Each structure stands twice: as C-alpha cells, then as structure tokens.
C-alpha cells in the first residue's frame, strides 16, 4: 500500500503543486490466477492554493 500511495502522489504532483497530505480512503488488490498482481489505493489529496 505504501508503494501504491507513493506512486499516486508522484503522478498527481505532475499537475498539482503544493501537495500537503493524502488520506487513504480505500485499499484493494487485484488477483489473477491465485496471485496478487497489483495494489490500488483511493486517495484524497490535500494541497495549498497560492
């Protein structure tokens, strides 16, 4: 979950400046053939507007 959150913040920071915090609303994982293939997070991102 930590890696998924970091990737989401990195992606959002390309278009949203001054990110201050994130709130993880939901977590999930995708499974294929009995193996976890990826992790997902649904976030709220807090940022400052100047």
β partners of residue 4: none
Supply the pLDDT for residue 25. Answer: 94
Query: What's the pTM?
Result: 0.72
Supply the pLDDT for residue 20. Answer: 96
Q: Is residue 4 scored above 90 in pLDDT?
A: no
- φ/ψ of residue 42, rounded to 5: -110, 120
Question: Tens digit of pLDDT for each residue in 29-44?
Answer: 999 999 999 988 999 9
For 9-30, what is the mean pLDDT?
94
Beta strands in the chain (DSSP E): 19-32, 35-47
């Amino acid at each position: 979950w930590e890696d998924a959150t970091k990737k989401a913040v990195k992606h959002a920071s390309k278009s949203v400046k001054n990110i201050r915090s994130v709130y993880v609303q939901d977590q999930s994982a995708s499974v294929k053939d009995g193996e976890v293939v990826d992790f997902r997070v649904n976030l709220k991102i807090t940022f400052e507007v100047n």
